[in-house]
Homo-oligomer: A and B are copies of this chain.
């Protein structure tokens, strides 16, 4: 927390995991300060000794709040949900909560980690696009099928949930990697509906303190 008591979010404008948390903070109207961690500059500021002490995984996001520092976006969001429950981001019914968490984990464990910066570095420049597209398509094939049975207006029914916080940033990654979204009408429809909401707009990569001027919208 800052001296003023505000939570501090260590974030990178383009990081899809940081965006998940920014949406949660916006939806719950939690005032916070951003400390940008540039994942490219200086060989990656996440590798600095100072940041490594804060988050040993050397990844963004990390949130300093209530006297603790939490890493891992879904752990952060679950903590916010438990300590700042309004508006809720998990349904009341346990079965629907399970659907929300399943969709979130499909993205957070099954898709995003396989196309993040550190893995792309290892597969080599010339294979990056093919690798990322393959991983995302494979995940989206599953996701589209799951959503056909869970979705209402949003991923699970008609209330915005953690699953939606994972979906929109992942679709943005898919677009960055030029994945054709035509085979995913449900994903595309929900993504579009969510992007019209204010919380998804103020948290958008093109609106952050560390967004480079040429990428601002």
Contact = CB atoms under 8 A, between A and B. Distances in A.
Contact of A102 (B71, B95, B110, B143): B71
B79 A97 contact: yes
Nearest to A59: B110
Interface stretch (A4-12, A111-119, A169-177, A208-216): A111-119
A56 B112 contact: no
Centre residue among A67, A105, A106 by max chain B CB count within 10 A: A105
Q: Is the interface of A mostly helix, strand, loop or mixed?
A: helix
A69 to B, nearest CB: 9
A99 B78 CA distance: 11
A68 interface: yes
Nearest to A105: B72
B82 A94 contact: yes
A122 B132 CA distance: 12
B56 A105 contact: no
A85 to B, nearest CB: 11
